[in-house]
């Protein structure tokens, strides 16, 4: 434990105790000798202006908070080595979930963290060599519109966008939206926003935004309960009121995996006598759900509703036809 860690831990120890703390206990908590503990106490009291006093009767040290308007805190922003390493991991996560997004800000954060670690004489780990991120299906390559949409969200301003909808029609449309929440889902960024053209909440894929201009108009704010209901009642990225309940049964081979997975906040699961696992949850749009069912292949069966089972069977038949023509 280095000097800064000891001071940080000593401050936490004294702040947490209402009664004086014996020097022996301080030495145990700081994992140091008596002379090192004395130097930490001196630094905290004389250089960091802590209200640190010694009580002879109790034979211990304490914070005298009576003369202060509020509890004493260490000056500036303090982190111990573990917290700084945690920040580095968060930085690495931000850098990897979408390369380019907030790159300048993330680089500045990493420089500040490295500076703080160097002041502690703590080794600076190469976090990138210790953590691996594997992404599949990432689409966003340019973060310029992401930054603008984020600025509009946090400043609560309306924004005009050119949006290219995916699908059969490939519609291009001009919309004014009030951003409500950024969503990172399956390696891609989405924006939940109130669409002033449709007069309702919508989900926009940020990589489909082709232009964005922040307007000098206050964004419409959706009540939290309404927004949460919009985002979480249905299945996956598709929103809307859930009108159906999917019932799936997974084989023994897949049961142990699925039992630990979160498919939906309101899901219900139970083990069956034969070792299979039954999972049920609400949904509205079945498109994404069908893809997730199919990835489990023969290890899952759709029990209900009937239209979902038939849709899965129809997709399997189409797949068979694709491969049947190759065998002729």
Domains of the chain by residue range: 3-63, 81-129, 144-222, 244-324
Cα gap 202→178, rounded to integer Å: 10
Secondary structure (3-state) at 20: coil
CATH topology of domain 244-324: Alpha-Beta Plaits (3.30.70)
The β-bridge relationship of strands 268-271 and 209-218 is unpaired
CATH of 144-222, one of 3.40.50, 3.10.50, 2.30.30, 3.90.1530: 2.30.30
Count of CB atoms within 10 A of residue 153's CB? 19
- Indicate the DSSP class of residue 61: E
Tens digit of each residue's pLDDT, the chain (328 residues): 667 778 888 998 999 888 999 999 999 989 899 999 999 999 999 888 889 999 999 999 999 988 777 788 887 655 666 666 676 677 667 666 665 555 666 666 666 666 666 655 555 556 667 777 777 777 766 667 888 898 899 899 999 999 987 765 667 889 999 999 999 888 888 999 999 999 999 999 998 998 999 999 999 999 999 998 888 878 888 777 888 999 999 999 999 999 999 999 899 999 999 999 999 999 988 999 999 999 999 999 999 999 999 999 999 999 988 887 776 6
Nearest to 161 by CA among 201, 199, 193, 200: 193
Cα gap 267→280, rounded to integer Å: 6
The β-bridge relationship of strands 200-205 and 277-283 is unpaired
Q: Compute φ and ψ for 233, nearest 5 degrees.
A: -75, -35
The two structure tokens encoding residue 183:
């969503």
The two structure tokens encoding residue 34:
């008596």
The CATH architecture one would assign to domain 3-63 is Orthogonal Bundle (1.10)
- Indicate the DSSP class of residue 266: T
């Amino acid at each position: 434990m280095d000097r800064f860690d000891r001071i940080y831990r000593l401050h936490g120890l004294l702040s947490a105790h209402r009664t004086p703390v014996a020097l022996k206990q301080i030495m145990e908590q700081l994992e140091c000798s008596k002379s090192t503990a004395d130097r930490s106490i001196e630094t905290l009291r004389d250089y960091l202006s802590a209200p640190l006093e010694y009580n002879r009767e109790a034979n211990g040290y304490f914070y005298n908070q009576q003369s202060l308007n509020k509890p004493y805190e260490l000056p500036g922003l303090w982190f111990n080595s573990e917290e700084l390493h945690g920040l580095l991991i968060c930085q690495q996560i931000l850098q990897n979930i979408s390369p380019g997004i907030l790159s300048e800000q993330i680089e500045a954060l990493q420089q500040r963290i490295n500076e703080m670690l160097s002041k502690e004489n703590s080794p600076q780990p190469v976090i990138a060599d210790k953590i691996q991120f594997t992404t599949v299906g990432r689409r966003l390559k340019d973060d310029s519109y992401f930054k603008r949409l984020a600025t509009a969200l946090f400043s609560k301003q309306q924004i005009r966008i050119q949006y290219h909808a995916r699908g059969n029609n490939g519609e291009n449309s001009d919309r004014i939206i009030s951003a409500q929440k950024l969503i990172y889902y399956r390696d891609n960024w989405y924006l939940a926003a109130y669409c002033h053209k449709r007069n309702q909440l919508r989900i926009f894929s940020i990589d489909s935004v082709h232009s964005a201009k922040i307007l000098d108009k206050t964004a419409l704010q959706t009540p939290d309960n309404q927004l949460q209901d919009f985002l979480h009642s249905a299945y996956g990225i598709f929103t809307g009121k859930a009108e159906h309940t999917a019932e799936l049964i997974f084989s023994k081979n897949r049961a142990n995996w699925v039992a630990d997975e979160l498919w939906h906040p309101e899901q219900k699961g139970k083990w069956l006598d034969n070792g299979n696992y039954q999972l049920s949850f609400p949904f509205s749009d079945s498109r994404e759900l069908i893809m997730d069912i199919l990835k489990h292949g023969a290890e899952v069966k759709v029990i209900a509703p009937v239209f979902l089972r038939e849709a899965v069977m129809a997709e399997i038949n189409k797949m068979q036809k694709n491969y049947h023509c190759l065998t002729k």
